[in-house]
Amino acid sequence: MALTLALTASSPAATATSAAPCTTPTGPYQRELERHLLLPVDGRQSAADCEAILAFQTRNGVRPADGYAGLASYRTMLVVEARPDPNAAGRCPVRDHRVACVDLDRQLMWVQDGRRVVFAPVPVRSGRDGYETRTGWHSVYWRDLDHHSDLYDDAPMPYSQFFSDGQAFHGTLTDLFQGGSHGCVNLRLDDARRLWNTLEEDDAVYVWGTKPGTERTLRPTALSPSSLRPAAPRPAAVPDAPPAGRTPPPSPALR
């Protein structure tokens, strides 16, 4: 009898919690999330949309998980869609050795060895307008596990792997989906740690595309039009790399 009463007493609260409506408004990436989740694509938030987006956020660790189709959910969606075949468009050249592939259009990266993906796609944050991450071929020339920026207030740059005149892959605890770096490719700390254990000095790095927000006409719903033509050369934002055996140059990092 006591057990029955306890279950009966707790039932209304549990029901109320489970029935709490998902009420966030229409987000800027509503259509993209609707399309990805196989929902009716009308660009307007509904209770069903909100619940489906919230479930997607929960599955993929997006915070806050509130059903809102914002930038973090959209960028996470791009990573999820890339996982089965990140190089489906053939933008990253296939070689018989490791290549770290950095897609500025989608703001994600992966590592492939030949056609085999050895480091699955993860979200990144590249250089903001005026400090764009340099495109083209590079190679990892210096690694520093516990690096701090020489240029930006001793900012921590854990798991730094430098590949282009002071620009590096490195971890950050800041929000990857807001703003941009001073040229480095920022990763979540756990992803930067795994990348550290994947790459070695002299490994190839290939960067292409345009970061959304650094081209006025670009909205990140598809590949940038600029990614279809050769990237224009960009001026170096930091000093050139020193001769072999000298101390590496100061390196940019998010403030």
Last residue of a domain, one of 62, 80, 98: 80
Q: Which residue type, as a one-letter code, is found at position 99?
A: V
Tell me, yes or no, whether 73 lies in a domain.
yes
**Do residues 45 and 139 both lie within one domain?**
no
Q: Are 135 and 104 in contact (CB under 8 A)?
A: yes
Tell me, yes or no, whether 247 lies in a domain.
no
Tell me, yes or no, whether 149 lies in a domain.
yes
**Do residues 75 and 120 both lie within one domain?**
no
CATH number, domain containing residue 119: 2.40.440.10
DSSP H/E element including 118: strand 116-123
120 exposure class (CB count in 10 Å sphere: 0-12, 13-18, 19+): middle
Tell me, yes or no, whether 189 lies in a domain.
yes
Domain that holds residue 76: 29-80
**Do residues 101 and 171 both lie within one domain?**
yes
**Do residues 135 and 176 both lie within one domain?**
yes
pLDDT at residue 233, rounded to an integer: 40
Q: CB within 8 A of 140, min separation 6: which ones? A: 100, 161, 162, 163, 199, 200, 201, 202, 203, 205
- How many other CB atoms are found less than 10 A from the CB of residue 43? 15
**Do residues 159 and 203 both lie within one domain?**
yes
Give me the DSSP letters along 31-91.
Answer: HHHHHHTT---SS---HHHHHHHHHHHHHHT-SS-SS---HHHHHHHHHHHHTT-TTTT--
The three-class DSSP label of residue 3 is: helix
Last residue of a domain, one of 20, 45, 80: 80
CA atoms within 13 A on the CB side of 61: 5
- How many other CB atoms are found less than 10 A from the CB of residue 237? 18
Tell me, yes or no, whether 65 lies in a domain.
yes
**Do residues 112 and 192 both lie within one domain?**
yes
**Do residues 159 and 74 both lie within one domain?**
no
pLDDT of the chain along its 255 residues, tens only? 444 444 444 444 444 445 578 999 999 999 999 999 999 999 999 999 999 999 999 999 999 999 999 999 999 999 999 999 999 999 999 999 999 999 999 999 999 999 999 999 999 999 999 999 999 999 999 999 999 888 776 789 999 999 999 999 999 999 999 999 999 999 999 999 999 999 999 999 999 999 998 763 333 433 333 333 333 343 333 333 333 343 444 444 433
Q: Which residue has the tokens 């075949």?
A: 85
Tell me, yes or no, whether 163 lies in a domain.
yes
**Angle of CA points 196, 202, 206, to nearest 5°:** 80
Tell me, yes or no, whether 51 lies in a domain.
yes
pLDDT at residue 129, rounded to an integer: 93
Phi, psi of 134, deg, nearest 5: -70, 135
Tell me, yes or no, whether 7 lies in a domain.
no
**Do residues 41 and 111 both lie within one domain?**
no
**Do residues 96 and 123 both lie within one domain?**
yes
pTM of the full structure: 0.77
pLDDT at residue 19, rounded to an integer: 55
**Do residues 181 and 116 both lie within one domain?**
yes
> Which DSSP symbol is given to 53?
H
Task: Specify the number of domains making up the chain.
Answer: 2
**Do residues 195 and 108 both lie within one domain?**
yes
**Do residues 93 and 198 both lie within one domain?**
yes
Q: Are 123 and 188 in contact (CB under 8 A)?
A: yes
Q: Are 76 and 53 in contact (CB under 8 A)?
A: no
